Amino acid sequence: MLIQQHTDDLPTPTGTMRTTVFRPATNGRFNAIIFYSEIFQLTAPIARSAALLAGHGFIVLVPEIFHELNPIGTVLAYDDAGKDKGNADKFTKPLEQHDSDTQAMLDYLS
């Protein structure tokens, strides 16, 4: 199945959250997956996995999970510095902010 990919900047209570959307290229209604990435954000393996899922007929949203803590578009490297930054971000971001991010994506999908 052919797919398309684009980004949307979703408003959340804690700021703009860049979200990459992978979806079938055809019109229609599709089930959706909110695909939270690893601590490194939207890396090539995450993008490939999201594209694979979209190719099976899903809309896949991949948010920048630490949008409050990094500039829009940040992808951390697979190295010690990236690992340390990602781990620090996961302990810094309060759980409630993950909940409000999820709500923003559900609102976008509806």
Structural domain of residue 48, as residue ranges?
3-109
Give 19's strand partners. Answer: 8, 63
pLDDT in tens, the chain (110 residues): 899 999 999 999 999 999 999 999 999 999 999 999 999 999 999 999 999 999 999 999 999 999 999 999 999 999 999 999 999 999 999 999 999 999 999 999 99
Long-range own/partner contacts, residues 47-53 (CB < 8 A, 24 or more apart): 47/5, 47/20, 47/22, 50/20, 50/22, 51/3, 51/5, 51/22, 53/22
Query: Which residues are CB-neighbours of 53 under 8 A, at least 6 positions away?
Result: 22, 33, 35, 60
- Total domain count for the chain? 1
CATH number at residue 95: 3.40.50.1820
Predicted structure pTM score: 0.92
